Amino acid sequence: MSLAGLDDSRHKSGAAGKILGQIPAWLWFGAGLFLLFVIGGNRALQDADTYWQIVVGQWIIDHRAFPTVDIYSFTKTGAPWISSSWLAQVLYAASYRAFGWAGPVMLAGLATASAFALLAQILGKRFAPIHAVIVAMAATVLSAYHFIARPHLLALPVMVLWVYGLVRASDERRAPSLVLLPLIVLWTNLHGGFVFGLALIAPFAFDAIWNADASQRVSLALRWALFGVCAVAASCITPYGWDSLLAARRILDLRNAMAYIPEWQPVDFSSLGPFEVCTLAALGLVLWRGVVLSPPRILLVLGLLHMALSHTRNIEIFALLTPLVVMQPLAARFGRSGIAATSGNATGSIAVIGITALVTGAFVASHTFTPVPGYTPTAAVDVLKSRKAERILHNAGFGGYLITRGVPVFFDGRGELYGDEFLVKTFDAFALKDVGAFLGLLESYKIDATMLRPETPAASLLDHVEGWQRIYADDKAIVHVRKGAPQ
């Protein structure tokens, strides 16, 4: 090779390196997180509710209408029920129709990666990019437990943008811009968690007013109040109007039943886990560096921590939002408030996105995604359908798959439909806390077959109950039918 050719090669290599070096760190992080999500896509399908979410979305597409009553169970048929996450369900259904199970995985992965990349980008405006990415990575690890293809993942990037808008307004001692209102409309139609977004208006308003000059407080309070009223009104722009707010309230009314649902249970500190490690590390940093927050921000951080400790499903809220809440005070303490985010290189950014798309396409084309096998009792349902069983008593986790098979369910993941008393009574009966209560379920609901997981205490009981016989069993389900039932 000639010297001219060598110089030209070095020039091209240096130009390529310069382009790569100008790609924002948050984009690298987001692309990597998306690829990891897709490669581990089966993990996103390990929840039985994904089944019925897609079915409901497909029903909305097919009927060009929105459900107002239950049509999937035989215990609550015709009872009022609305699909408050209708937009997310439609998106999941459309992606499933287009790409099979790879569709919901890619959709959920895109939303999740966008949310945490947004966090890294926002933090990068105040901190060094590497520090911003480290915080976003820690938030990702904390939240990974809840990375399942359900509506809440599609709402995560909207939540980050909404809260960032409130944080900026509070930091700048002004009311939020009305430009934020389309975000709450979108959030409302994606997931019931929008109620939390509305609730956050008050503490950020309190913080803004607390730190404002005394002469400005009344005017600022009125502007925040006006924004709050507009936000509540905007949250009613759904197919169901005010009922979307009421539906979210009914979920919160499941107080006793929440103790039986893993994601609603409190954090378990019996063994050292990521949440405890990150929380203790953050506490140590505060004690070491003397970070000072205003009283309203302290209350807000403590509130987010309380939510995470009370219900594991709220850990991702704590992980995503706490860095935004403490961003400005922390940046001021470390003298980083002057850091500006780099615009990055458009060509390099497009290249990263293109490569990510190509790698994703190649993996999806060569990989088969498998939804939650433990709650996909295909063989057991085939047996029950061949016997024309109509009223099946089953674990809640089987409800989603039964809905996909067109079988009326006893209950499923729509807890707000069934109510606290129904759920607690059923869970206690399955655990045989009261044998009479379980036998009562069989008679009061005229059950003609049961399909229970092998570890369910009630499954073994039926082997000894007169009038019932076991006809099928595998590692997923044990099936009993009434003796003398049609073959």
Structure tokens at 445: 């609901």
Percent residues over pLDDT 70 in the chain: 92
461 CB contacts (<8 Å, ≥6 apart)? 432, 435, 438
Q: Which residue has better confidence, 390 or 250?
A: 390
Residue 252 pLDDT level (bands cut at 50, 70, 90): confident
Convert the pLDDT of each residue in 114-132 to its tens digit: 999 999 999 998 888 999 9
- Residue 335 confidence (pLDDT): 53
What are the distances in angstroms from CA 330 to CA 130, 194, 291, 333? 16, 27, 6, 5
pLDDT category of residue 269 using cuts at 50, 70 and 90: confident
Question: Average pLDDT, stretch 299-310?
Answer: 93
165 contacts: CB under 8 Å, gap ≥ 6:
176, 177, 179, 180, 183
Give residue 6's pLDDT band: very low, low, confident or very high (50, 70, 90): very low
What is the arithmetic mean of pLDDT over 449-459? Answer: 95
Query: Would you place residue 338 in the very low, low, confident or very high pLDDT band (cuts 50, 70, 90)?
Result: very low
Structure tokens of 299? 């209350």
Structure confidence at residue 292 (pLDDT): 82
Q: What token pair was written down for 282?
A: 């953050």
pTM for the model stands at: 0.91
Q: Cα torsion for 62, 67, 69, 74, to the nearest 10°?
A: 40
CA 335 – CA 339 distance, rounded (Å): 9
When comparing pLDDT for 285 and 276, which is higher? Answer: 276
Residue ranges per domain, the chain?
23-354, 374-482
Could you count the other beta carbons within 10 Å of the beta carbon of residue 480? 24
Q: Is the pLDDT of residue 281 over 60?
A: yes
Model confidence pLDDT, tens digit, residues 49-68: 999 999 999 999 999 999 99
Taking alpha carbons only, the member of 430, 370, 410 closest to residue 51 is 370
CA distance 307 to 297: 15
How high does pLDDT run on average in the chain? 90
Q: What is the pLDDT of residue 247?
A: 80
Question: Contact 448/485 with Cβ under 8 angstroms?
Answer: yes
Which helix (H) or strand (E) segment is 469 a member of?
A: strand 468-473
